[in-house]
Amino acid sequence: MADKVIKMPVNYEAEQAMLGSIMMDTNVANDFTTLLREDDFALQQHKQIFLAIYNLIQNNEPVDALTVADKLATSGKIAEAGGMEYIGKLATGIPSTANADKYFEIVKRDSLLRGIIEAGNKISKNAYTAEDANKALDFAEQTVFRISEEKEASKLEPIVEASSEALNKINTMQRGDYVDEGIKTGFKLLDRKIESMKPGALCILAARPSVGKTAFALTVAINAAIRNNKKVAIFSFEMPTVQLVQRMLTTVSQISFKRQKQPGMLNFNETQRLFNAHEALSNSKIYVDDNSGNTPGDIISKCRRMKNTVGLDLVIIDYLQLITLDTKSKAENRQQEVSTMSRQMKLYAKELGVPFLVLSQLSRGTEQRGEEPQLSDLRESGAIEQDADMVMFLHRPKKVENPKSEESKFAASYDDDGDHKFVKMLVAKNRNGETGNVYFDWCGDMQTFKPIDIREMSTAEEKQPAAKLNTEITSVEQMRSDDDAFDDMKMVDDDGQKGTVEIVMDDNATPATIKEEPLDFSDSDGMTFTNNESGDQSINNGDLPF
């Protein structure tokens, strides 16, 4: 029995009917020409006729058999298109254009099937010669995805449906039932300003080196994954995975780098906190890729795979200027390359429907000026600020003589050689919320950012950042902080004396702890701290390991 001949998916009659309908009806021409491509037509003469039609519409010229034939004749393509007689038959051989949408459906269906066949041939050919199986798989995914992208035809639609959806969203907000689909940073003062990082948004976090941008991004990842059970992908181009995870362990456990490095320094309580942090991170949905050779194509391919398998809510990239384009996308200079990568990150965020938090370097101009960073300081490309939905700068305010503002007074109170630094977050651009400033106490040794509300401080001496509170009790029972700024905690000593004190709860994901069994305060001289609401409160030897 002879082998059955397999034909390519093509319907020449549908192609003829589609082209004839376009030449007969101006409305059909306007509605469907922009949704079709040259390769949607299998027959070469149909490709030429379609290109002539497309060029006429682009030049706002009338489309009919005569104008199409003239366009082909002047370009020397009339014979290749089948001649004047064939074009005339196309235009007169359709009794009605009422079924144009059906002709379009058939043409696009066969075009898609041919594209899949061609993609399969390319994937097969590449697999025969590939030396790296993972790269061959990435090539296959990218090839197939390009077909799915081309399949999604779009056109202008009436706004009635979008308006109804927007109205429903407003009504939901007014009822108090609206659930923000964005990703919170986990820092209350910052989230009040930006609200959240929205799905499909490109969010840029920029700073000069050693200001803490990686630590800040990792804290956002911790907050999203541990507190809100989000799936986070981190692409690190600068730091290996183990080093990143050690930083995250430090943030969650609140055990300083200094103590970690000294042999035998960690006590039982600290060791337990370290294991608790390990367990929390191990149970989270944080995924890290530290391949410094990842191209933008690699990033989107891996993100698509993660979204289709375990889900994906947030992508973090550290950092933009370290990404290299693949050979096919190389530009004339580095500025054009960074512009291309910035645009690609925005398109990827939109495609995946998740926010991209992309770290970026700032130019040296900020240091030379000695002033706050500006959007124009984004290194190597002005396209970054255009593509970004949100731009945030981390900046250390310069100390000044005779400080007068609350910001300058607070900056002056910090020791330049100390572990704690005063850091200013400038929200310079925000399409979905406010711009402005948020302040933090940044402790590099603990990898911790503590929000500071300087509006509630008359001088820096009246209140120290929460990160500087560091006393001990002998044992603790873990208790997570809720979304309130304070919780009441009862502390009871051996003599049965009770007292209630308001404890400042952390704004990041680190668990707060307190001992509920009797405490021994006999050796305590006590300590004083100031809370955010009601002034000084005295407590005895209370452990604040958060």
**Alpha carbon distance 183, 354 (integer Å):** 9
Strands 498-504 and 486-492: antiparallel
**Alpha carbon distance 511, 39 (integer Å):** 58
Catalytic residue among 80, 150, 238, 502: 238
Residue with tokens 């489309």: 63
| Degrees to nearest 5, angle at CA 387 with 381 and 389 | 130
Could you give the angle at which helices 12-24 and 100-129 cross, rounded to 10 degrees?
130
User: Residue-wise over 199-217: b if at least 16 C-beta within 10 A, else e?
Assistant: bbbbbbbbbbeebbbbbbb
What are 319's two structure tokens?
A: 């950092």
Could you tell me how far CA 91 lies from the centroid of its own chain? 50
Nearest of 319, 315, 387 to residue 375 by alpha carbon: 387
Note if 238 is an active site residue: yes
Nearest of 508, 501, 506 to residue 534 by alpha carbon: 501
What are 465's two structure tokens?
A: 């950042």
| Degrees to nearest 5, angle at CA 433 with 432 and 438 | 135
- Is residue 215 within 8 Å of 447, Cβ to Cβ? yes
> Is the bond preceding 319 in cis, omega lying within 30 degrees of 0?
yes
**Alpha carbon distance 196, 22 (integer Å):** 47
| Degrees to nearest 5, angle at CA 88 with 82 and 89 | 85
Nearest of 270, 285, 207, 286 to residue 449 by alpha carbon: 207
- CB neighbours of residue 476 within 10 Å: 18
- Is residue 119 within 8 Å of 144, Cβ to Cβ? yes
**Alpha carbon distance 30, 498 (integer Å):** 80
**Alpha carbon distance 248, 448 (integer Å):** 10
Active-site annotation, residues: 238
